[in-house]
Chains A and B, each alone.
Chain A
Amino acid sequence: MSRNTKTVLVLSVIALVIVSFPLFALKGATFSGSDDAGSETVEEIEGGYTPWFTPVLEQLIGGEIPEEVESLLFCVQTGIGVGIIAFFFGRFVERSKWTKRLAGKPEDHVVDSSDTHDATDEAPR
């Protein structure tokens, strides 16, 4: 296992522990959003506060976004991001695999394999 792989694994485990620890340590906590807590503090300081503008989507549907739909939309956001990252990372990994393979083979093999993948076009200069 390379040094980088080890580092990534260790960092991932630490991140996972930090993220999941509160869930097990603070049983019964509501885990409400800190953004909402900020709004509540505004209300507390002002002694009550009515927002002067309603979110566009809430105006269009005439009420608050249902919780389930909100979680769907957050998933869409995550999905778009993960999709882009995974697509390009996949290409990078494939490219480096093919670049290494092509660099390590005699020329006739290079020609043979060039039609199976476009890595030759993208090989680093």
Chain B
Amino acid sequence: MHIMEGYLPAGYCVAWGAICLPFLVAGYFSIKRMSKRNRKTIVLLAMAGAFIFVISSLKIPSVTGSCSHMTGTGLGAILFGPLPVSILGVIVLLFQAILLAHGGLTTLGANTFSMAIAGPFVSYGIYILCKRIHVNKRVGIFLAASIGDLFTYCVTAFQLALAYPSADGGVMASMIKFLAVYAPTQVPLAIVEGLLTVIIIIGLESFARPELEGVGFMKEGGDDE
């Protein structure tokens, strides 16, 4: 989902950056509030950030003959809500843009919006929806992480299509072209991200109950199975 350095016109770079700013500010304050309320949550936050670090560094072969990577943002969105994940995501994207020449500083705003804002918001929305309609908790986590991952790539396709509309067919035709590049490759990876997110949450439920209670993911003293 990384739009490479210099691949978005300057106006779009600024616009996407401006759109991200309020989310990042809100994310910063939400982390501050969270750590003030319960310091234990910082450990979980660090782990969710580390999960994004690991997951987004793994280039995985897909059935289309291309490689892609997962985003890892679903875990944080499920545990803390989408806002804090915007900060975690931008840290990872900065690391990759500066040290790996992957993504870029000029495209940081667009990449932050797709990976650290849009994806986590969708993940969180799906997780809450599944909870409301009493879908099995683990199935809900799987769906939230998978669809959030896939949505991130759809947003990237939209961002590129908006900047580079096709000469015949405009933004929609271009969007279909970019989706064809990203989506089929991403589907199996999104499934893997869903599975890994469920695995890590099972691990946390087994060994980090006090922290999960601290962020409100599990009820204190209750059995959330």
Contacts and interface: CB of A to CB of B under 8 A. Distances in A.
A32 interface: yes
Interface in B89-106: 95-106
Contacts of B103: 35
Interface in B144-186: 156, 160, 164, 166-167, 174, 177-178, 181-182, 185-186
Contacts of A88: 43, 46-47
Nearest to A16: B192
Given A38-B3, A55-B101, A57-B101, A21 B207 contact: no
Given A12-B199, A51-B4, A74 B66 contact: no
A41 B181 contact: yes
B8 to A, nearest CB: 9
Nearest to A78: B57
B60 A85 contact: no
Contact of B203 (A8, A30, A49): A8
Interface residues of B, number: 74
Interface of A: 4, 7-8, 11-12, 14-15, 18-19, 21-23, 25-26, 29-39, 41-42, 45-46, 49, 51-58, 64-65, 70, 73-74, 76-78, 80-85, 88-89, 92-93, 95-96, 124-125
Nearest to A30: B65
Contact of A89 (B57, B178, B203, B209): B203
B195 A11 contact: yes
B14 interface: no
Contacts of B166: 45
Interface string B76-97: 0000000000000000000111
B55 to A, nearest CB: 8
Contact of A11 (B50, B96, B198): B198
A15 B62 contact: no
The 6 closest A-B pairs by CB, nearest first: A51-B6, A81-B53, A81-B54, A55-B101, A29-B65, A84-B50
Interface in B5-38: 5-7, 9-10
A35 to B, nearest CB: 5
Nearest to B177: A41
Contacts of B203: 8, 89
Given A38-B182, A51-B5, A88-B46, A31 B65 contact: yes
Interface centre among A12, A56, A58, A125 (most CB of B within 10 A): A56
